Amino acid sequence: MAEEDNEFLSLSDLGSELDSIPIPMFFDRNRHICYLEMMLELLPSPYQSQEINRLTLAYFVVCGLDILRSLDRVDKEGVINWVLSLQAHPQDEADLSNGQFYGFHGSRSSQFQPNDYGNALPNCSHLASTYCALSILKTLGYDFSLLDSMSIIKSMKNLQQHDGSFMPIHSGAETDLRFVYCAAAISFMLENWSGIDKEKAKEYIINCQSYDGGFGLTPSSESHGGATFCAVASLRLMGLIEDDILSKNASSCFINVPLLLDWCLQRQAATDGGFQGRLNKATDTCYAFWVGGVLKILGAHKFIDHEGLRKFLFTCQSQYGGFGKTPEQLPDLYHAYYGFCAFSLLEEPDLNSICTELGTTMGPVQLL
Query: What phi, psi does 29 have (nearest 5°)?
Result: -60, -45
Amino acid (1-letter code) at residue 31: R
Instruction: Identify the burial level of 136 via C-beta atoms within 10 angstroms of its C-beta, where 0-12 means exposed, 13-18 middle and 19 or more buried.
Output: buried
Q: Tell me the per-residue pLDDT of 52-93, one tens digit each, with 9 for 90 and over.
A: 999 999 999 999 999 999 999 999 999 999 999 999 988 888
Q: How many Cα atoms sit within 13 Å of 38 on the Cβ side?
A: 13
Q: What gap in Å lies between CA 33 and CA 272, rounded to an integer?
A: 27
Q: What is the pLDDT of residue 121?
A: 58
Q: What gap in Å lies between CA 254 and CA 250, rounded to an integer?
A: 9
Whether the Cβ atoms of residue 285 and residue 274 lie closer than 8 Å to each other:
yes
Whether the Cβ atoms of residue 170 and residue 126 lie closer than 8 Å to each other:
no
Q: What is the pLDDT of residue 221?
A: 97
Smallest Cα–Cα separation from 315: which of 2, 6, 14, 5?
A: 14
Q: What is the pLDDT of residue 150?
A: 95
Q: What gap in Å lies between CA 136 and CA 112, rounded to an integer?
A: 23
Smallest Cα–Cα separation from 254: which of 273, 238, 271?
A: 238
Integer CA distances (angstroms), 121 to 30, 111, 112, 364, in order: 45, 9, 6, 40
Whether the Cβ atoms of residue 216 and residue 208 lie closer than 8 Å to each other:
yes
Q: What is the pLDDT of residue 114?
A: 57
Amino acid (1-letter code) at residue 237: L
SS3 readout for the chain: CHHHHCCEEEHHHHCCCCCCCEEECCCCHHHHHHHHHHHHHCCCHHHHHHHHHHHHHHHHHHHHHHHCCCHHHCCHHHHHHHHHCCECCCCCHHHHHCCCCCCECCCHHHCCCCCCCCCCCCCCCEHHHHHHHHHHHHHCCCCHHHCCHHHHHHHHHHHECCCCCECCCCCCCCCEHHHHHHHHHHHHHHCCCCCCCHHHHHHHHHHHECCCCCECCCCCCCCCHHHHHHHHHHHHHCCCCCCCHHHCCHHHCCCCHHHHHHHHHCCECCCCCCEECCCCCCECCCHHHHHHHHHHHHCCHHHCCHHHHHHHHHHHECCCCCECCCCCCCCCHHHHHHHHHHHHHCCCCCCCCCECCCCECCCCCCCC
Beta-bridged to residue 323, according to DSSP, are 317
Beta-bridged to residue 23, according to DSSP, are 9
Smallest Cα–Cα separation from 340: which of 292, 295, 294, 286?
A: 286
What pTM was computed for the model?
A: 0.90
Report residues of the chain scoring pLDDT below 70. 1-24, 112-122, 250-252, 363-368
Beta-bridged to residue 9, according to DSSP, are 23
Q: What is the pLDDT of residue 122?
A: 58
Q: What is the pLDDT of residue 204?
A: 98
